[in-house]
Structure 1
């Protein structure tokens, strides 16, 4: 074993001759990643039919569950905006910009718990962490329906943010364990949509019709969505696998086939050993910080539009109930953006495998949002339909945001580095969602010119930060190609397969951009 370790380390050191010196912590080179033990099950190979069937089983069983995972998690982000249509501001005696702080406070909890959530996701089974989070925040949502003043509502929103912080990261880690880097954009686009509004819109419309009871309709909206979250947390505990290794609906050979495919990513499945060298590398990697700023800018519109779009619609002349129902279209536009962006990336990379089109597709799909924001700012207030349509297209940011999540998973190797980067990016997500609502001043309702202007600026800065990220990836790939021609085109890299190396440590790695 010692000779094998030394041989592996020497191979790695040779391949990284011109790269910066990096300390590699070797726990057990053969079994550090949980997927390594399955590779021997396919030493005799497998047929295309077996591969196709295994992938079909993953798509049919995993994608619908992860779509519901994301959609139900997204409901609590819009609970306060729907509740605001039905008297939340009056019942809680909100003054000035206190409603903006209710929108922002959720992300303080997200911010606080990002790094602890990353540690939990590495230390414990992914789905166990996610299931517990769903159940706890469902209970908190129900409690939110009993709040009678500003401070208790702020507390519940902070707690909600804390317990939601592991869920998106958990879902991304599950995706990266089942799919190759080329397959991830399409599946992520199918999972990450704006279709949570198909739940919240009709529920919001329905509760608005019941007024003969001791409580306001907005309270029952919290109770219903909270109950749904609790039920879903229990369901995923039993039915959603964390990785191919513990997937009960795959045979042992099918697990090995999926793991063999994912091996090409050079990102591994999961390692339960925390490595401080990978943590430090994540903090010092300039590409991480370029993407951090992209996440800051692209998520500012989310913070503003999620909390204020129902109030913008109501200000255009529609009733509270119809404003809730019209909000369903927000999700349709987000979904259209997500599917357009991810399908375009999938099609281009399938047709031209060596193309570098992800960043360009993301920028192209930000253009409708940029134009819509300009129209929303400049159209006269009397043009209600034009402003409504412009607001819908302003939600087109979701596609580029989702594509950035697939880029993060594709370009980050080393499990500790991956969970650390996820935490860093969700810190950015939290900060921008805290900032976003603060541009929407109560004194400027219902037009909110400062808020709309901030969204336009955020979209423009998103493009600039993405271009910087693309250039960094391009330069690093050129440097690697000079030392290791071909890179990941080779089928096997025994010196790096399932060794839990980071993207910087692995000279065979190539960045998507």
Structure 2
């Protein structure tokens, strides 16, 4: 190990490295069956740090650095996701403010967003790997802000369908990029909480109040729903500009950090074995991602929890209005649901990092939604508005499940191409689930939508079993890895110090979680 007294000298040495020679050093990665690794084609992190020797920083220094990261990265991520959630659910607010498309046409327009999302998910994920991820994200945000503002000029079903499709394409890059950025800057036991800071229901509160305020305008010059689109589009453009200026692509390119702090940021996450950034698209990692049983369990998880999202995010206001409220009352009464969703997401993020769990928080998130759907069905004709409102607020807790899925992907996948592939597959499942969800609340079932509510109960109940299974698989894989490490130690007569040296070398070699014997899964 390199002590803290040596770190300044090491940083100065790494800063003066010729980029060409460093790239040659990280040109290719080969692993051998004995647990050792040859460094070539490793992560970009190898431009700044030594593959074998770890630079030690004091706990006080690392805490100060983490606070500095927290002052910039999670807030910007929060603004991005805040904007995205507002923009994709803008149709929900417009639906009770005189939006010109109704009935099955409304269902299809709501579906169009996720069709665009589905169509462009894999291309946008791999494009972002080749480019500077944060810069690519910023350009997409500005583009969708312009598209959102164009909604105010549309009048026909075809125009709205096309604009929603393009909106979905532009927004499909958000989650994969934000997950990658969080995983590059934060340790495994810090990731879920940071993701919960930006993926929560506070947006629903803000959006509800904005829509409520706009609804008082009489619309003699511009329809209230058009004002919503113009305001949200302008906000997206502003956020996109901020992302282009301030959000870093990776610790290597984090210009708000000093050279020493960049090295410290990389060393902080070295032991997690998750790696950072690699621009080479590796087909063998794509194959491994597709062949990994855990990938498909996550895909099923995302699919099952996204069907309710497609329904509730687009129809919750119509459901509340169906209880007997006016449009204005509906907009303001939708806001407490955002508070419930935010509270659950923040709790799940805290619990997930505190207990080193990912699946248990998903169970916490799903049970109240199942209960809420049951209450909506059971008290459907009882006329008890208070119970029905309480039930619809409970249904919002399921959103925390997707936040936990994002944290799971960040913590349980290594190898940049594999990460990108699994994130893309996750978001494809998300879009398919939302497409299905947009059709479970059929116009013929209005205003009760009983079949859709039953579907939510059944799908999420099945997901409870999937969560338990996935947790068991990860714990079983960890036990197998311990056996492999002990076998490597016995075969070579290695000490714990030798093992740590190899662990250091593996960290930024762009190995997948299966290739790397030192990678530990989070349950």
1:306 to 313, 318, 330: 313
1:511 aligns with 2:512: no
Equivalences for 1:60-99 in 2 at 5 Å? Answer: 60-88=71-99, 91-92=100-101, 94=102, 96-99=103-106
Matching residue of 1:373: 373
Change over 3 Å in CA distance of 1:44–1:385 after alignment to 2: closer
Report the Cα offset of residue 229 of structure 1.
0.6
Matching residue of 2:277: 270
Per-residue CA distance 1:21-75 (angstroms, 9 max, x = gap): xxx9x8xx25621112222499663222211111110112222111111111111
> What is the TM-score of this pair, normalised by structure 1?
0.91
The answer (yes or no) to whether the contact 2:272–2:507 under 8 Å persists in 1 is no
Report the Cα offset of residue 167 of structure 1.
1.0
1:228 aligns with 2:235: yes
- Distance in 2, matches of 1:48 and 1:410, equals 22
Report the Cα offset of residue 7 of structure 1.
13
Change over 3 Å in CA distance of 1:202–1:408 after alignment to 2: same
Change over 3 Å in CA distance of 1:457–1:498 after alignment to 2: same
- Distance in 2, matches of 1:413 and 1:151, equals 42
Change over 3 Å in CA distance of 1:444–1:8 after alignment to 2: closer
Q: Secondary structure at the match of 1:265?
A: coil
1:119 to 120, 123, 126: 126
The answer (yes or no) to whether the contact 2:55–2:267 under 8 Å persists in 1 is no
- Distance in 2, matches of 1:6 and 1:206, equals 57
- Distance in 1, matches of 2:54 and 2:88, equals 48
Matching residue of 1:134: 141
Matching residue of 2:59: 48
Matching residue of 2:7: none
Change over 3 Å in CA distance of 1:118–1:486 after alignment to 2: farther
Per-residue CA distance 1:233-258 (angstroms, 9 max, x = gap): 11110011111222222111111111
Q: Secondary structure at the match of 2:202?
A: coil
The answer (yes or no) to whether the contact 2:29–2:41 under 8 Å persists in 1 is no
Q: Secondary structure at the match of 1:505?
A: coil
Change over 3 Å in CA distance of 1:30–1:454 after alignment to 2: same
The answer (yes or no) to whether the contact 2:77–2:198 under 8 Å persists in 1 is yes
1:237 aligns with 2:230: no
1:15 aligns with 2:35: yes
Report the Cα offset of residue 174 of structure 1.
0.7
Q: Secondary structure at the match of 1:35?
A: helix
Change over 3 Å in CA distance of 1:274–1:44 after alignment to 2: closer
Report the Cα offset of residue 360 of structure 1.
2.4
Which stretches in structure 2 are left out of the alignment for 5+ residues?
1-20, 489-495
Matching residue of 2:483: 482
> What is the TM-score of this pair, normalised by structure 2?
0.89
Change over 3 Å in CA distance of 1:301–1:133 after alignment to 2: same
- Distance in 2, matches of 1:448 and 1:500, equals 48
Matching residue of 1:352: none
The answer (yes or no) to whether the contact 1:340–1:399 under 8 Å persists in 2 is no
Equivalences for 1:343-422 in 2 at 5 Å? Answer: 343-349=350-356, 357-381=357-381, 382-422=383-423
Change over 3 Å in CA distance of 1:300–1:486 after alignment to 2: farther
- Distance in 2, matches of 1:297 and 1:5, equals 40
- Distance in 2, matches of 1:358 and 1:256, equals 29
Q: Secondary structure at the match of 1:501?
A: coil
Matching residue of 1:442: 443
Report the Cα offset of residue 346 of structure 1.
2.1
The answer (yes or no) to whether the contact 1:144–1:222 under 8 Å persists in 2 is yes
Report the Cα offset of residue 217 of structure 1.
0.9
- Distance in 2, matches of 1:181 and 1:43, equals 18
Matching residue of 1:20: none
Per-residue CA distance 1:291-328 (angstroms, 9 max, x = gap): 10000001111110000011111111222122112222
Q: Secondary structure at the match of 1:419?
A: helix
The answer (yes or no) to whether the contact 2:341–2:397 under 8 Å persists in 1 is yes
Which stretches in structure 1 are left out of the alignment for 5+ residues?
17-23, 350-356
Matching residue of 1:427: 428
Report the Cα offset of residue 5 of structure 1.
9.7
- Distance in 1, matches of 2:219 and 2:309, equals 35
1:342 aligns with 2:349: yes
Q: Secondary structure at the match of 1:145?
A: helix
Per-residue CA distance 1:380-439 (angstroms, 9 max, x = gap): 431111011100001111222211211111111000010011110000000000000211
Matching residue of 2:258: 251
- Distance in 1, matches of 2:214 and 2:44, equals 47
Q: Secondary structure at the match of 1:183?
A: helix
Change over 3 Å in CA distance of 1:150–1:370 after alignment to 2: same
1:35 to 35, 42, 45: 45
Report the Cα offset of residue 14 of structure 1.
1.4
1:57 to 68, 85, 110: 68
- Distance in 2, matches of 1:481 and 1:274, equals 30
The answer (yes or no) to whether the contact 1:375–1:390 under 8 Å persists in 2 is yes
Report the Cα offset of residue 215 of structure 1.
3.0
Q: Which shifted more, 30-39 or 130-139?
A: 30-39
